Amino acid sequence: MWIELIAKHWKLVVFAILLIVIGVQRSMVVYKDKKIDELQKKEVLYKTKISDLQKVIEEKEKLIDEMEKKIKEKEKIIEEMEKSIDKQNRAIDELRRLKDNLEKEVLIINNALEKERKEYKEREERWKQEIKENQREVEVLGKRRDASQWAQEQWDLLWH
């Protein structure tokens, strides 16, 4: 029965099948168009996100570069400070050596001064002794002079 009907109306069946195929194809095209639109919207959205991410990445890279520059500057400052500390340490060592040398010289000078003081005191004592001896001699000579002057006066009185 179906076969007879299809044989009689085969043109209608073919037409119906064509309509079904065309309808399915149409709906597939519409579905594909919608899918393409969705995918294009997603593509635009993803491209926007990628662009935003690239901007963020570029900003982060700039920040990283700035931080690296700051780190290098800090490292240079640290190196300079280390050099300065080394110089200061060398200067401190030099000052300590100078201080030690000065202390040694002061000791030498103090010893020399002490020796000179002792020598001066000895000389002073000798000079005091010499002064006393000279004073005694002056007294003796003064007495002799007085005696010789008296004798001269007596002599002059006798002969004049």
- Specify the pLDDT at position 160: 63
Domain count, the chain: 1
**Residue 51 dihedral angles phi and psi, to the nearest 5°:** -60, -45
* Domain span holding position 43: 32-118
In the prediction, which pLDDT does 140 show?
A: 75
Contacts of 13 (CB under 8 A, 6+ apart): 6
This model's pTM is above 0.85: no
Q: What is the DSSP string of 76-93?
A: HHHHHHHHHHHHHHHHHH
- Structural domain includes residue 100: yes
pLDDT tens string 57-105: 999 999 999 999 999 999 999 999 999 999 999 999 999 999 999 999 9
The verdict on residue 114 lying in a domain is yes
Domain annotation covers residue 76: yes
Residue 140 lies in a domain: no
